[in-house]
Amino acid sequence: MKTRSIAAGALALAAVGTGFASASSAGASGPHTSFTMQRSPGIVAARCLPQAKARVTVTHDGPVERMRIQAWGLAKNTDFDTFVIQVPNAPFGVSWYQGDLESNGLGKADVEYVGRFSQETFAIAPGVAPAPSVHSTPTPDATTNPAFGPVHTFHVGIWFNNPADALKAGCPGATTPFNGEHNAGVQVLNTGSFADTDGPLGRFRP
């Protein structure tokens, strides 16, 4: 069963959405930017979910940003997981679980996450330290972290929460670690229209 918890700093709101072209502007709601997500290469190769796409709008709100994802063309009534990632496709690099995304009976989803989604989005490990081990299978948790300097994570990806749902939709049934239990399905959408080191979140400088 899927854990119904939202990643730290994320707030999910259910609704229905559609998508439009990319833009960047500042208005009454604060500085904001918009961009689209496209199907992942594996999904394209498998010829599944041919209409899947998403529009992302990031709005600066004081000390945080609000990232709204409106997706359509998804498998109906299905759970997905959203990550902010270093590069859009494998090997993905440093990845951060933002929260859940659930499609409705029309294959649409609308969710908002609250956190840092701009040029200042990064991860850092100043040194090696012990880490909690929560899951032993199918992808065991690391018990220590490697040390690394600041790594900016400017891309966004969405995964099937369950490999069985991916198979049901005619997509590959591989198991990946991209959910709270590390037993998610394959990636569905990402920001691969942007270069690996020029992700759309990095272009937002509120």
**Alpha carbons 86 and 83: distance in angstroms, whole number:** 10
| Model confidence pLDDT, tens digit, residues 175-204 | 999 999 999 999 999 999 999 999 999 999
pLDDT of residue 1: 39
Q: Which residues face 32 on adjacent strands?
A: 25, 59
pTM score, whole prediction: 0.87
How many other CB atoms are there within 10 angstroms of residue 74's CB atom? 26
**Is pLDDT above 60 for 145?**
yes
| Model confidence pLDDT, tens digit, residues 114-130 | 999 999 999 999 999 99
| 23-203 CATH | 2.60.40
